Structure 1
């Protein structure tokens, strides 16, 4: 199972599985009691299912499912009206109609929400088979309830989709700065490195370290320290090129990926013009991520060492 797959994607995949499994009762009943309308229905439904599945893989899934549902509804209403169909011969047309149309109404409501619910009611009530009002009301109540269940499923899936998106963002995003985290950096590094090789351009990795985060935390508190980190993240975001990858690796350490950039001095000057209290190192991404980070780290700490004030020895009094 793909755990990154969204609830909606899983629901679409489950729909086609149910659409195929729904044919199983017919395979057991029609060989013994069926006539030409029954076998024609089976063949047409299988063709509609194959067409819908093919369209869902190549186009958007919702229109493909809607087409399958509408074709299924038309096939059912045609089938019920045939005098040689199984429900007509055994006199359970109303019950068969409700049983066969209910999945269509459920699906339309689940896929399209309120609009699907309204369409489902219109379709379902327009082809009720029994002529007496009480039995029409009884069948209509069942169909309306099924469409309402589909509406509940629709909004339940929407809530699950929102929760899934929030969890995915939390797993791939630094919560304080909303930059990518180490997991995103690892994926982007491989992708951009391959793109750089194909395009024949360099990929530069920059490594940033705030100069005095500990002093801010100790002197002003961690709330001020968090604001200090967010301020730098904003300065970094506004002063790199659009499309450059930005990541927080943890604490006061940040990273950037810059496709087509040969060296980092231009980026460094722009960022430091806004946020001067930062050290930076960079390296061209010629090896693995770990090797590139290590090279940039050596450059970074050489710069930090050059900033440290020289401590003079105490003179004897």
Structure 2
């Protein structure tokens, strides 16, 4: 549920900034010096870019992949244009200009998909080369291939750097959202997840249960047996909580012995409490179904029910003590 801007997301956004920046630089030149065919082709490219951006919003990376792949036929059409610079010069210039301009999509494919992108980019370049024609000397073809080779090498370097940065970022991000002792998410993660859970409940009309948990007797365990025993006591509760909840549920430690949970698609708060208590009796819980609640409101309402649960447990314990047989003391 946690949604943040990762380094990968920022790079994908940068791609579109570069595309639109290049268009803004190119269009004035087209308007002043280009032919009507150039303007028509550039208009098609603008429409293609807008469409791919819409795809990107729904399916990340898919829009960029589509945009890069569709660049090749546009570049091929440009190379085949009889009014283009390469066609006017003839020979190797056609292939050199095509290879130079197609270096950008080859770099993009390689930078985002590694060797698979490089092979795909080369294949599309070869297909484009077949359409453009094989005119010119072998030396000219070899020299004009340098931009493609350079774009692949730079793309592979960029792909490796981004993989390393993304891995490091993921580790740091997960560390900042996870409680180190229990392995559950922390309050910071809850602040981000809660809004997403409420939005999901409203959008898909699914129940979302918010539960609050308090471990009883932790202070006594710490005082009598030490903090190591207290930590083991808490971890035994965490094990019971994880065993009793679904794998899709989000569990958080928000205080020393205070925990909360977000349970999407569930409204069975009492059943969950009974299941956990059967494994770990020293616990009290409160819960509330999210219906437009803010986080503080949900915690306050769940805590009220948690305190009522604690009071009921104390009353039940006192009744058991009152009705227990009393020992007899006396002198022999």
Q: Which TM class, normalised by the smaller chain length? A: 0.7 to 0.9
Residue 149, structure 1, aligned to residue 154, structure 2 = yes
Confirm or deny: 8 A CA contact 1:205 1:257 kept in the other structure: yes
The equivalent residue for 1:107 is 108
Cα distance, 1:233 vs. partner?
0.3
Contact kept, 8 Å, 1:207 with 1:281, in 2: the verdict is yes
- Whether contact under 8 Å (2:267, 2:289) holds in the other structure is no
**Residues 273 and 153 (structure 1 numbering): CA distance in 2 closer, same or farther, change over 3 Å?**
same
Contact between 1:205 and 1:296, CA under 8 Å: does it hold in 2? no
The reply to whether residue 67 of structure 1 matches residue 31 of structure 2 is: no
| SS of residue matched to 2:28 | helix
1:109 and 1:51 map into 2 onto residues whose CA distance is: 22
Partner of residue 174, structure 1: 179
Counterparts of 1:140 and 1:86, CA distance in 2: 18
Map Cα deviations across residues 230-256 of structure 1 (whole Å, 9 max, x no partner).
Answer: 221011111246665532122222234
Question: In the alignment, what sits opposite 2:327?
Answer: none
CA–CA distance in structure 1, aligned partners of residues 37 and 62 of structure 2: 28
Secondary structure of the residue aligned to 2:19 is helix
Q: Distance in 2 between matches of 1:283 and 1:54?
A: 40
Supply the distance in 2 between the matched residues of 1:225 and 1:260 (Cα, whole angstroms): 31
Residue among 298, 305, 309 paired with 2:307: 298
1:279–1:304 Cα contact (<8 Å) kept: no
- Return closer, same or farther for 1:281/1:67 CA change in 2, 3 Å cut-off: closer
User: For 1:236 and 1:245, how far apart are their aligned partners in 2?
Assistant: 11
TM (norm. structure 1) is 0.76
Q: Structure 1 residue 205 and structure 2 residue 211: aligned?
A: yes
- 1:150-192 CA distance string (max 9 Å, x none): 2222333333333343344334332332323234445666645
How far apart are residue 117 of structure 1 and its match? 0.7
Map 1:109-124 onto structure 2 (within 5 A).
109-124=110-125
Q: 1:201 to 1:29 in 2, by over 3 A?
A: closer
Displacement of 1:78 after TM fit?
2.3
Matches of 1:267 and 1:166 in 2, distance apart?
Answer: 32
User: Which secondary structure does the structure 1 equivalent of 2:233 belong to?
Assistant: helix
Q: Gapped runs of 5+ residues in structure 2?
A: 323-332
Among 279, 283, 289, the alignment partner of 1:279 is 283
Q: Could you tell me how far 1:114 is from its partner in structure 2?
A: 0.9
Aligned match of 1:134 in 129, 136, 139?
139
Matched residue pairs, number?
Answer: 302
Judge conservation of contact 1:246–1:255 (CA < 8 Å) in 2: yes
- In structure 1, how many angstroms separate the alpha carbons of the residues matched to 2:159 and 2:219? 48
Cα distance, 1:68 vs structure 2: 1.8
Contact kept, 8 Å, 1:37 with 1:84, in 2: the verdict is no
The structure-2 alpha-carbon separation of the partners of 1:213 and 1:26, relative to structure 1 and needing over 3 Å to count, comes to same
The corresponding residue for 2:86 is 87
| Other structure's SS at 1:23 match | helix
1:30 aligns with 2:30: yes
Q: Which runs of 5+ in 1 are unaligned?
A: 311-317
Instruction: Output the CA distance in 1 between the equivalents of 2:208 and 2:9.
Output: 37
1:186–1:289 Cα contact (<8 Å) kept: no
1:131 to partner: Cα distance: 2.4
Q: 2:208 and 2:158 mapped to 1: Cα distance?
A: 49
Deviation at 1:90, TM superposition (A): 5.6
The 3 A distance-change label for structure 1 pair 291 and 61 is closer
Structure 1 residue 99: Cα displacement:
3.0
Give the root-mean-square deviation of aligned CA atoms: 3.8
**Which deviates further from its counterpart, 301-310 or 75-84?**
301-310
Q: Using the alignment, how far apart are the partners of 2:18 and 2:194 within structure 1? A: 40
Per-residue CA deviations over 1:97-153 (Å, capped at 9, x if unaligned) read 233111111111123221111122333356287722333222223311112212222
